[in-house]
Structure 1
């Protein structure tokens, strides 16, 4: 119960950047990762990792050739993520606006899959657009960008960026609150 209470306290204190007051459910995490072929990827990036709920699901699926880089700007959540000991995990306390430069510092050129829990609707528009542009540019051809949101605000923006036919919408009711999942493929 202590971790959930700590998450709630931190989320309330930082509502403008965390975008939620409850951690993601395992159902949401599983639906976000469904369809990612971990056998054929080198680098997966997680944006807005929070306290690591989805991070742990990703780590459970990693293959020996996979690496996970997490971006988290909230200091308390960043410190929680550092407690996860895994040789294929790198945790960065920096904004996803600098995704390309940061992955290059880690020795990677491109990303195969991005899992994002960033609250795009409450991030200033210029910053959220920069993050989306960095994400798109960083992806390999046929790379995937998976984003969850509590609204449909970003559906049109993602279709414009990735192309209408390359964005699929899913819904997860077993999450508090229920969430929309955008699954985008770079062609």
Structure 2
């Protein structure tokens, strides 16, 4: 999906896409820098959109590892299905189903979740269930990476991850983004 198609789809579904512009390679690098791609067997991605970050994950993922993505937008879902990579599993379900889906694919938990979900646009009861499911699906010391365009979810993430949240910032993205690195204790 090119940038023009991304913009058109984002305009139609701004509430679920959360932005008019795809993520920059700089934001993708900042989100993925703490992932140990040498040892991980499973990475989970919430809200991959047109697959910019998905492709970056796949470029770094070992041949025997798996990436499971969760995308509810039908146009983005169909675009993700066009990525030809046997390590990629594309789920057209809400991220709150993460535990069920990873178990269906032979995993009990994951070390890493990368999220591009526009949490501030998602009703609080739904985002609370998604974040709770994400926390439960992580291994001890597992990481949840989230970017947002505001600090709205900083205190909520600190509460869920018992204070284990580092805040970063990526100015080379449109718009500039805050990057939350949350670790399960």
- TM-score by length of structure 2 reads 0.98
Alignment of 1:36-185 (within 5 A): 36-164=35-163, 166-185=164-183
Q: In the aligned structure 1, how far is the partner of 2:67 from the partner of 2:46?
A: 11
Q: In the aligned structure 2, how far is the partner of 1:121 from the partner of 1:167?
A: 18
Aligned length: 185
Deviations 1:113-163 (A, max 9, x none): 000000000001010000000000000011100000000001000110111
Give the CA RMSD over aligned residues: 0.8
- TM-score by length of structure 1 reads 0.97
Structure 1 or 2: more helix by fraction: 1
1:115–1:145 CA contact under 8 A, matched in 2: yes
Q: In the aligned structure 2, how far is the partner of 1:128 from the partner of 1:186?
A: 18
Instruction: Quote how far apart the aligned CAs of 1:3 are.
Output: 1.0
Q: In the aligned structure 1, how far is the partner of 2:159 from the partner of 2:15?
A: 26
Superposition misfits of 4+ residues, deviation over 3 angstroms: none
Where in structure 2 are there 5+ consecutive unaligned residues? Answer: none
Q: In the aligned structure 2, how far is the partner of 1:161 from the partner of 1:97?
A: 15
Do structure 1's residue 20 and structure 2's residue 42 form an aligned pair? no
Instruction: Quote how far apart the aligned CAs of 1:79 are.
Output: 0.4
Q: In the aligned structure 1, how far is the partner of 2:139 from the partner of 2:41?
A: 11
